[in-house]
Amino acid sequence: MSKNKDLLASVSDTSTDSEFFSPVPAGYKKGKTRYCFVLGTVMSGLGKGIFSSCLAKLMQDKGLKV
């Protein structure tokens, strides 16, 4: 188990400046990501979409990245 932790630690410290795609965006800071879940049934799909887009717009107006 210790060997696996060492391997993961060494891989996580490597540079991402290579030919491979990195899903981590530039400027990402670990622990700063927040999530907002909007739950409901299939029947209320339109309402969830409208609410989610309005919430995103309000958050953007307050200066947050969405």
Residue 8 lies in a domain: no
Residue 66 lies in a domain: yes
Query: In the chain, what is the straight-line distance between the N-terminal and C-terminal CA atoms, in Å?
Result: 38
Residue 20 lies in a domain: no
pTM confidence score = 0.50
Residue 28 lies in a domain: no
| Predicted local confidence at residue 64, as pLDDT | 86
Alpha carbon distance 44, 17 (integer Å): 44
- φ, ψ of residue 27 to 5 degrees: the values are 85, 5
| Predicted local confidence at residue 20, as pLDDT | 72
Domains in the chain: how many in total?
A: 1
Predicted confidence (pLDDT) per residue in 8-30, tens digit: 777 676 665 666 777 777 788 88
In percent, how much of the chain has pLDDT > 70?
A: 79
Residue numbers of the domain that contains 45? 40-66
Residue 32 lies in a domain: no
Q: How far is CA 49 from the centre of its chain?
A: 19
Residue 1 lies in a domain: no
CB 16 within 8 A of CB 22: yes
| Predicted local confidence at residue 61, as pLDDT | 95
